[in-house]
Amino acid sequence: MRAIVLFSVLFAALTSCSTASQNSGNANGNEVKILKQSELAAKMKEDNVVVIDVRTPGEVVQGYITGADKFIDINGASFAEEIGKLDKTKTYVMYCRSGGRSGRAASYMVENGFTNVYNLQGGISSYNGPTSK
């Protein structure tokens, strides 16, 4: 019986962690939205959308999504300062190589009052559109 209870508690803990990492919400009810690759081109055509590449400068010089508006390295010393300068009323699409760093960056933005933030699913590694150097 004890093994069943322990298994139930462990299962509940793992399930809740998984859900929390997918939603990336904050106390205000805002959360990071996932943007599918197939939705990116249409989203970029909308008004007040800013596309931000959060990769390192070394990665950016190898190529970036054409139309990216800003390059703010999530690992850079000025990341928080640069994010703090952004207009919280705009829509932001964040991307990196595969979606992990941009997910962290997007969560940071939501935690700091941004309300319309997307993380590009799969990052530039899954992107098939035009790129620039």
Only one residue has tokens 């197939």, namely 38
Q: Which of 106, 97, 105 is nearest to 124 (CA)?
A: 97
Residue 17 bears catalytic tag: no
Q: DSSP characters for 26-62?
A: -TTS-BPEEE-GGGHHHHHHSTTEEEEE-S-HHHHTT
Which candidate in 65, 72, 93, 96 is catalytic? 96
By annotation, the residues acting in catalysis are 96
